[in-house]
Structure formats: structure tokens, C-alpha cells
Structure 1
Amino acid sequence: MSNKSVLGIIGGSGVYDIDGLTNTRWEKIESPFGEPSDELLFGELDGQKMVFLPRHGRGHRIPPSEINFKANIDALKRAGVTDVISVSAVGSLKEELKPGMFVIVDQFIDRTFARNKSFFETGLVAHVSMAHPVCNRLGDHLELAAKNSDIEVVRGGTYLVMEGPQFSSVAESELYRSWNCDVIGMTNMPEAKLAREAEMCYATVAMVTDYDCWHPDHDNVTVDAIIKVLLANADNARSLVKNVAPNVGTDMHGVTCTCKTALDNAIITAPDARDQKIVNKLSAIAGRALN
């Protein structure tokens, strides 16, 4: 049976420097939602088709609040991506989640406020479920790949997504800890919501770089120490992606995953009341459901 999955990786520029990645090319993908963060890097790893997108652009040019999340997800969908793994640097809100550890997130609390969070708008309304915001099937593959890569990993956790670009105050950090959040970052919302609207399987690997400012040793952390963790995390992220790719590729359950039908019964607007301009704009994102 042919491999029909295409694995998309959203993350930093170091993630796509993987040994064995072949047939590589950078390609600009046009989107009706504007400019994606960068061109997409297409390649193959042991026969598995892959597409990489630097979330902040090569050279880290774009701050979290200015990322065009809609264009990024739309471009990946137009590139044929079926499964998305988001790789993100985070701060830890719990003592036991130490710098260097990876957390396979299963829940989010979205505290962003300056971002456009849906492909749908006046003229075409839809409400998708975000009760379980990540794909459990992809989470299984990531957990196995992390263990096979000897990465210290925790399965399950809540990611508090803040607006940024400033970091939290101590009061905010303690508030999020009181909510039993595990990690904090700035990039996975509305990315996860848009991936669900696009009917793509989505999972997050949160890479702990440091403790958030609640920790008594926070002020003693040096830049050198953080850079050391960042470099180790980048090496581990490459190893994780390399190990997870073949498992995603041979998973025959991917085609029938419920993520792929998230828009079933989600579109509310009656067919004769839909704005055709918006329908056309959503040809890649929602074409299956609209047709």
C-alpha cells in the first residue's frame, strides 16, 4: 500500500537539518491569507515525504504575535501535508519538568488576544471541537520515537499560550501554576485551532529550555546555560523527527483519523447563504467539507 501521508514539521531552523533528508528544495507557496513565515522546505526521509516550515522565518525574523498562522497552515495544506508536528521551546511551570525534557502536550489554555484565530468569518461560519486539541495517534508515535531516541519525555501536559513577546510577571507565572499548567510558551495558538479547522492531525512537542520566573533559581540562570540547553534540544528534536517520520508514514490509521473529518457537522451557514468569495478562499482548508 502506498504511503499517502505527508508529514509537516513547524519549528526552528535547526529542526530541518536532518541526516538522510533527500530531494530537498525550498519552494514559495502562495496563500490567499497572505505571506507564510517563509518558503517551505520539501524533502524525503527514507521514502516519507516531509515539509518543513520555519515558524519565525529563517534567522528568526518574526515575533510570535506577528506570525501569519493562517497563511502557514494554509500553505502546508496546499503543499499536501496531512499530519503536523509542532516543535516549540517552552518554559517549565513545574519543578519536575526540568530544562532539556520534552513534553508531549495534550491540552492548551489560550491566553493570546491579538491574533486572528479562525479561517471562518462572516459569510461562512463553523465551530470545530477543541475538547481534545491534539491528535492522540500522533502523540503515540512521538512518545515511542522519543523513547527510542533516549530523550527524557513526559506524555501529557497543559501548555499555557501567552501573547508575548514579553515574558510573564511572577504573579502571572504563579497564577498559571495555580491552574495546574505544565509549560508556557507563545506559539501554539492559534496554530492548533487552525490545524483542526484545516482537518490536519496536529501534535506538539514542547521542549523545556528553562524554568519560568516563578522558580527561585530563575535569576541565577545564565545565558550560556540556556544556550547549552537550546543546542541539546535542537539535537534531540532532529533525532525525534528522524525517528517519528517512518512510523507516521506506515500508520494506515492516519487516513481514517477523526482529525481528518473535523469539519463534519461544523459548518453552520446554510449553503445558499454562504459568501462565495470566502468559499473560494477556503478551497484548500475546507474544500472536502464544502464540496
Structure 2
Amino acid sequence: MTAPRLAIIGGTGLTRLKDLEITHRRVMHTPYGEPSGPLVFGHLNGIETVFLPRHGARHTIPPHQVNYRANIWALHNTGVEAAIAVAAVGGITECMQPGQLAIPDQIIDYTWSRANTYFEGGHLDEVTHVDMTWPYCPEVREKLLNAAGELELPVCEQGTYGATQGPRLETAAEIDRMERDGCDLVGMTGMPETALARELGLSYAACAVIANRAAGRSKGEITMDEIGRNLETGMEQVKRLLARVIASLD
């Protein structure tokens, strides 16, 4: 059996790929516990693809309880070499508007207490460090940006993703601090997922869907109705983008 060409990690608003011609599902057991759900294998535009919904098939796993180590290990263990992670985020800087897509090139980790590395325990041959200067794979990012250009999709071509603990949304003061730190986007799932992919040598990039303006960046409270409306628009663009990227792998 050949390995899938690409893994897609679905976030809020993307719990399934409707155009994926499913061939089988595989329940994975990992040294780090259970992934968010069975891996879904199939063909998208004729290309072998594996899909994993980060929050589970029914979107029941909150960001701080996702087993990121099991998810990334399971995908890597299929033999896949590249992964695109889809995530719903809040827009901090002015250019990050709801309904738009962004392909971040940097990330800052504000999470805590999450199992965030494979390099621990009593069985290491040596202390290991991985370079995270550029946390996202430039080749996968380029494919995403090229596909967005071909489809004429409005997309922010770079930005810094601030990963917060969740599941609560941030205060306006926290968002002010994050903007001072250089963050353009705020989400809850970017870390340790990005770092774990790097540790296993997975070519990983993120496609962020801006679901709302971050706290203090618009009038009134952030509502789930607003987030839902913007995600519906953004995820349709994501599906078109993924289809074009996968077609480019042929």
C-alpha cells in the first residue's frame, strides 16, 4: 500500500472533506495515546490523501485537550511527508479581516501545560533540539500561496500566529499585549502542533481562516453566530484552495 501524498488536519469548521473519495478509515494506537479520531484515507482530485479532524469527528475535543502528539505521530506513521493544518483564528492587525484566509510564516507560543515534545523521558540517546527559526515549511507555504493566486482568492501572504491556551477567548488587554509582541492572528491550536511536526520532520504549513476580529478590535462581544457565518465563507475558500494544492501534486 502506497503512502498518502498529503495529510490535512481539519480545524473548527472543517470536520470532514465532502469531496474526499473515502477508501478506508484506520484506527491508530500510538505511544502517546489515542488521536482525535480514526484517520480517513481517500482520494481528492485523484491524489491519495489522509484527513484527520483535530477536534474529533463531532467537534467535541477542546483545544487544550487535543492529543497533539498522538495526532502528529499517527499521521507521520502513515508515511505521509507533508501536512496542511487548517485553523480558525481571530484577526488582530487591521489587514486580518473576517472571512479572509492567511498563510502564517511565524508563530509565538502562549500555551502552557500541554505535552509539547517527543524528546523527553528516560530513553533518549541524547538531548535533542530542533531549529524553529522558520516554523512552517516554505515549500508547502509556496504551494498554498500559488494556489490562492491561481484562484484569485484574497489571502494574507504572511503573519505571526499567536497560540493561546483556550478554551476561553482572550481579553482585550491580552490581545493588546499580543499585538505589541508582533502577533497578527490569534488561535488555540497552532502549538504544540507546529513544533511536533518539525520534530518528526513533517513538512507542515498552516492555512488560517479568520473567523472574527480579536477581542477589543471591534464593537461589542464576539459571538458564535458571527464566527459561524465567517467560517462558512472562509471554509468554502479553503476547500477550493486545498483542491488546487492537491491537483498541483500530480
* TM-score grouping bracket, smaller chain normalisation: over 0.9
- Native 8 Å contact 2:175 2:216 kept in 1: yes
Name the structure 2 match of 1:231: 232
The corresponding residue for 2:104 is 105
The answer to whether the Cα contact below 8 Å between 2:98 and 2:213 also exists between their aligned partners in 1 is: yes
Consecutive unaligned residues of structure 1, counting only runs of 5 or more, are: 251-291
- The one-character-per-residue Cα deviations of 1:25-60 (angstroms, maximum 9, x if unpaired) are 222112111000010110112331100000000111
**For the residues of structure 2 that align with 1:40 and 1:103, how far apart are their CA atoms?**
26
Q: CA deviation at 1:115?
A: 0.5
Quote the Cα distance in structure 2 between the aligned partners of 1:136 and 1:218: 38
Q: Which blocks of at least 5 consecutive residues in structure 2 are unaligned?
A: none
Matched residues in 2 for 1:192 and 1:162: separation? 13
8 A contact 1:93–1:214 mirrored in 2: no
Query: 1:48 maps to what in 2?
Result: 47
Aligned to 2:191: 189
| SS of match in other structure, 2:162 | strand
Q: Residues 93 and 184 of structure 1 are in contact (CA less than 8 Å); yes or no, is this contact kept in structure 2?
A: yes
Residue of 203, 206, 209 corresponding to 1:207: 209
1:174 alignment counterpart: 176
Distance across 2 between alignment mates of 1:164 and 1:49: 33
Cα 1:222–1:162 shift into 2, 3 Å: closer
Deviation at 1:155, TM superposition (A): 0.8
In the superposition, the TM-score normalised over structure 1's length comes to 0.80
Q: Does 1:67 align with 2:66?
A: yes
Change (3 A) 1:97 1:218: farther
Match of 2:152 among 123, 126, 150: 150
Distance 1:242 1:218, change over 3 A: farther
* Contact 1:18–1:242 under 8 Å retained in 2: no
Which is greater in Rg?
1
- Could you tell me how far 1:235 is from its partner in structure 2? 1.1
Does residue 14 (structure 1) correspond to residue 21 (structure 2)? The answer is no
One-letter amino acid matched to 1:84:
A
**Deviation at 1:177?**
1.1
CA distance in 1, matches of 2:168, 2:225: 20
Identity of aligned residues (%): 38
1:118 is matched by which residue type in structure 2? T
Counterpart CA distance in 1 for 2:55 and 2:3 is 28
Letter paired with 2:235: A
Q: Deviations over 1:129-149 (max 9, x none)?
A: 011100011111001112233
Give secondary structure in 2 for the equivalent of 1:228: helix
**Amino acid of the structure 2 residue aligned with 1:194:** L
Answer whether contact 2:4 2:50 (CA < 8 A) is retained. no
- Give the CA RMSD over aligned residues: 1.8
Equivalent residue, structure 1, for 2:57? 58
Pairwise CA distance, 1:126: 1.2
Per-residue deviation at 1:223? 4.3
Does structure 2 conserve the Cα–Cα contact (< 8 Å) formed by 1:15 and 1:237? no
Aligned length: 245
Deviation at 1:244, TM superposition (A): 0.6
Amino acid at match of 1:74: W
Aligned residue type for 1:176 = M
Deviates more, 1:169-178 or 1:210-219: 210-219
What TM-score, normalized by structure 2, do the two folds share? 0.92
- CA offset digits 1:178-213 (Å, max 9, x no partner): 122100000010001000011110001111011011
What is the Cα deviation at residue 225 of structure 1? 3.3
Partners of 2:166 and 2:3 in 1: CA distance: 37
* CA offset digits 1:80-134 (Å, max 9, x no partner): 2110100000000012211011110110000111101110113313111011100
CA gap of 1:5–1:23, structure 2 versus 1, over 3 A, is closer
Task: Choose between structure 1 and 2: higher helix proportion.
Answer: 1
Retained in 2: the 8 A contact 1:89–1:208? yes
User: 2:220 and 2:79 mapped to 1: Cα distance?
Assistant: 42
Please give the secondary structure, in 2, of the residue aligned with 1:56.
coil
Q: Is the 8 A contact 2:3 2:80 kept in 1?
A: no
